[in-house]
Chain A
Amino acid sequence: MASGAPRLVVGVDIGNSTTEACCARVDDDGGVEYLGSGLAPTTGIKGTPDNAEGVRKAAGQALADGGCRWPDVDLVLTNEATPVISGLAMETITETVVTESTMIGHDPRTPGGSGIGVGTTVALADLAERAAGEDVLVVVPAAEDFEDVAEALVAAARRGVGVRGAILGGDDAVLVANRLEETLPIVDEVTLVDEVPLGMLAAVEVAEPGRTIRTLSNSYGIATLFDLDAEQTKMISPVARSLTGNRSAVVVRTPGGDITDRRVPAGSIALRGRSSTVSVEVDAGADEIMRALARIRPLVDAEGESGTHVGGMIAGVRDAMSELTGQRPDEVAIEDLLAVDTLVPQEVRGGLAKEVAREDAVLLAAMVRTSRGPMEQVAAEVRRVLAEEAQRVLEVEIGGIEAEMAVGGALTTPGSGEPIVVLDLGGGSTDAAHADTDGEVYSVHVAGAGDLVTTLIDAELGLDDKQVAEEIKRYPLAKVESFFHVRHENGTAQFFTEPLAPELFARVVVLTDEGMHAVPGRHDLATLRHTRREAKRRVFVVNALRALEQIAPGGTLRQIEFVVLLGGSALDFEIPDMIADAVAPHGIVCGTGNVRGSLGPRNAVASGLVAGHARGRRVSGAA
């Protein structure tokens, strides 16, 4: 080995989504002087020759940052990049099918009147023909003028017709209610008002402002109004359930009891361990699945029952993985699963105002470790690309096990010490590495991380927009309370001298780096915040504990003293605190890493590669 002058060494960590690099001067007795760092998106799938471009960029940045030039580089170290790929699937496990047009349960912002009215549905045009003494609910198309409607209702009432309420297509409920002689419940903004069945017994309920309906959201309330027997009440109960929390609702009784509650078989999932296989019904819920998984761990593979929801889910994950890795679907082995219970909004069939009901669903994240990537090919390509930069052949080494390197880098965090566990909070998986006091390193990868959080937020809020969900995940919320101030989610107010855009007025916004973005939909701030935090808790806190239990000596968390959080999600504004809170009862010091005292949770593996190399030199120098 050459001795004398210190060598310029570049460490490169090819990650699933980002490639990080650092450059350092390493002298003969193992002293390391870090000079610069760089970061670039990983090009291609981790562990393939496509990665070379990302390496060129990240390493180039590190050199520029350190004031170094390519021709002076003596050695490039890269990690052994075994791709860990994860896939997601979600399926509702129960499905409430409400057949025919039986209910309207929605929250027009301004319904009219209040109370509950029961009568036969009749079109406005036919109201004049109704006889005195008949109880009716008037169904009004959107195009009708509010004054004409009010006049017709008043005229009918004066003739002795029992006008008990109205269902409007337009946004006119208050206007109509204000022009009547008595207070009637009026529901408006019913999108599909033309499809309300006529000549049927129905009930309209509107609660006072600030209240929610009490009768139509109660199965026995509906049973009382419609004189239902026990069997019929059982069938109407999903309707009552989906009306809960509304300020107004309509239930139309269609003959023959056209309401059915159908459970679609969710199927079972077979978890194969090394010595046994356990089968779990998915509709038993996420907890049951996770308990079964803990019993047979380590997981060798998972299979879904074919012809069921879960069968489709697992097959979907497998296909996606095989497409990514080029392996045959039957070669793809699922090494870990995370099941999360969730409630997702589903449009109610038979609803007339785009009502949604929240249905139980299970979200599965699966993780696959592919066969070890062709690292020599990657190194060759990196060598070729970097030779272009340096104008000569550079020495490129594959520098050891990633987990070991991550621990090495994490230990450069001031205040950390052994026994240490590194938790790498990534996009697809949460990885843990444990170094005991002898320097022995163990690692574990568990399914589910940042991408799963985004998916949960997207699904639970019914956004159907990954970008919006990503912003809700990453940034704090605020409510725009006037043209000049917002109230942050922690309750503090902030004033602006420049007026805020009218589009943001009274909206809940995410405070992104590029300014405020209004959150679409009608969710209030408290709901958004709760959904965001619960998604993070169910993924990251659950996975942190799962990973720590698997890696801690004897499965006892008390054996761990230090946990250092690394990876992109360790930069999140609340995830590190949530994990720290969860492990604090076990006497663990936990926090976001600060690699080399200045880089935060970034660059641990790259720095660890260089540190490992330096240690090697010291050892060989001493020998």
Chain B
Amino acid sequence: MSVGDGPTRPMVLVAAAGTFPAAILRELRAGLEEEGVPHELRPGHDDEPDPTVLAHRVARDSSLEVGVGLTERGIAVHHAKLPAGRPVTVDPDVNAEVARRMGHDAARVVTGVPLKLVTDEDHAAPGDAARRA
């Protein structure tokens, strides 16, 4: 909750259930930062073990409609308008590399850049997002 922050700032919301090595969260946030998209951590979701469910929950709270869920069962990126069980991407591995990629993809859903997904190809064309009318 952004208390006293005035109107909701555009943010990707990141929800983590339980505790994780600092490196995981750091890489996730680095991915978002490298893409230049602001984000905010939402702690206190320890009740939800499924990363996809968690990601969808915070995506619906996000003004950018994008959420990331991080639990010991994996990491997921979700969009508020996608059906609950159909995340943008989900990976059961919780490691630094996956976390970084998830950070990039969460940001790219916002900026409209082709996703990294599992195959780490750089398909993105510069100025892609600028095409939107």
Query: CB within 8 A of B115: which of A487, A505, A508, A520?
Result: A505
Interface string of A509-534 (1 = CB under 8 A from B): 00000000010111111000000000
Residues of A within 8 A of B36 (CB): 110, 174
In the complex the two chains form, is A172's CB within 8 Å of B34's CB? yes
- A481, B131: Cα distance in complex, Å: 9
Interface status of B41 (Cβ within 8 A of chain A): no
Interface status of B24 (Cβ within 8 A of chain A): no
Interface status of B125 (Cβ within 8 A of chain A): yes
Q: Which residue of A lies closest to B36 (CB)?
A: A174
Q: How far is the CB of B84 from chain A (nearest CB, A)?
A: 12
Interface status of B128 (Cβ within 8 A of chain A): yes
- A522, B122: Cα distance in complex, Å: 8
User: In B1-45, which residues have CB < 8 Å from any A CB?
Assistant: 30, 33-36
Interface size for chain A: under 10, 10 to 19, 20 to 34, or 35 or more residues?
Answer: 20 to 34
**Most central of B81, B88, B131 by chain A CB within 10 Å:** B131
Interface residues in chain B, defined as those with a beta carbon under 8 Å from any beta carbon in chain A? 30, 33-36, 79, 81-83, 86, 88-89, 108-109, 112-115, 117, 122-132
Q: How far is the CB of B3 from chain A (nearest CB, A)?
A: 26
- The verdict on A178 contacting B117 (CB below 8 Å), with A483-B81, A499-B82, A506-B128 known, is no
- A479, B30: Cα distance in complex, Å: 28
Interface status of A484 (Cβ within 8 A of chain B): yes
Residues of B within 8 A of A210 (CB): 127, 130
Q: Which residue of A lies closest to B23 (CB)?
A: A145
In the complex the two chains form, is B81's CB within 8 Å of A175's CB? no
In the complex the two chains form, is B35's CB within 8 Å of A507's CB? no
In the complex the two chains form, is B122's CB within 8 Å of A189's CB? yes
Residues of A within 8 A of B115 (CB): 502-503, 505-506
Q: Which residue of B lies closest to A519 (CB)?
A: B123
14 further contact pairs, Cβ within 8 A, besides A109-B126, A174-B35, A487-B131: A109-B124, A110-B34, A146-B30, A173-B34, A178-B33, A210-B127, A481-B132, A499-B83, A502-B89, A502-B117, A503-B117, A506-B108, A524-B131, A525-B131
Q: How far is the CB of B50 from chain A (nearest CB, A)?
A: 18
In the complex the two chains form, is B86's CB within 8 Å of A506's CB? no
Interface status of A360 (Cβ within 8 A of chain B): no
Residues of A within 8 A of B114 (CB): 505-507, 518
Q: How far is the CB of B104 from chain A (nearest CB, A)?
A: 8
- A109, B104: Cα distance in complex, Å: 12
- A287, B30: Cα distance in complex, Å: 53
Interface string of A76-89 (1 = CB under 8 A from B): 00000000000000
Interface residues in chain A, defined as those with a beta carbon under 8 Å from any beta carbon in chain B? 107, 109-110, 146, 171-175, 178, 189, 210, 247, 479, 481-484, 487, 499, 502-503, 505-508, 518, 520-525
Q: Which residue of B lies closest to A178 (CB)?
A: B33
Residues of B within 8 A of A505 (CB): 88, 108-109, 114-115
- A501, B17: Cα distance in complex, Å: 27
In the complex the two chains form, is B128's CB within 8 Å of A521's CB? no
Residues of B within 8 A of A110 (CB): 34-36
- The verdict on A483 contacting B127 (CB below 8 Å), with A110-B34, A189-B122 known, is no
Residues of B within 8 A of A502 (CB): 88-89, 115, 117
15 contacts between A and B (CB under 8 A): A109-B122, A146-B30, A172-B30, A174-B36, A175-B30, A481-B112, A499-B82, A499-B86, A502-B88, A502-B115, A505-B109, A505-B115, A506-B115, A522-B123, A523-B125
- A171, B127: Cα distance in complex, Å: 18
In the complex the two chains form, is B126's CB within 8 Å of A247's CB? yes
Query: CB within 8 A of B34: which of A107, A175, A520?
Result: A175
Q: How far is the CB of A112 from chain B (nearest CB, A)?
A: 9
- A174, B128: Cα distance in complex, Å: 18
Q: How far is the CB of B36 from chain A (nearest CB, A)?
A: 6
**Most central of A110, A481, A518, A524 by chain B CB within 10 Å:** A110
Residues of B within 8 A of A507 (CB): 114, 123
The 8 A-B residue pairs with the shortest CB-CB distance in the complex, in nearest-first order: A522-B125, A524-B125, A174-B34, A506-B114, A506-B112, A109-B124, A502-B88, A507-B114
In the complex the two chains form, is A107's CB within 8 Å of B123's CB? no
Q: Which residue of B lies closest to A527 (CB)?
A: B125
Q: How far is the CB of B55 from chain A (nearest CB, A)?
A: 13
- A595, B79: Cα distance in complex, Å: 51
Residues of A within 8 A of B129 (CB): 506
Residues of A within 8 A of B127 (CB): 210, 524
Q: How far is the CB of A595 from chain B (nearest CB, A)?
A: 42
**Most central of B36, B115, B125 by chain A CB within 10 Å:** B125
Query: CB within 8 A of B131: which of A107, A479, A518?
Result: A479
Q: Which residue of B lies closest to A107 (CB)?
A: B126
Residues of B within 8 A of A107 (CB): 126
In the complex the two chains form, is A483's CB within 8 Å of B82's CB? yes
Residues of B within 8 A of A482 (CB): 112
Q: Which residue of A lies closest to B132 (CB)?
A: A481
Q: Which residue of B lies closest to A525 (CB)?
A: B131
Residues of B within 8 A of A146 (CB): 30
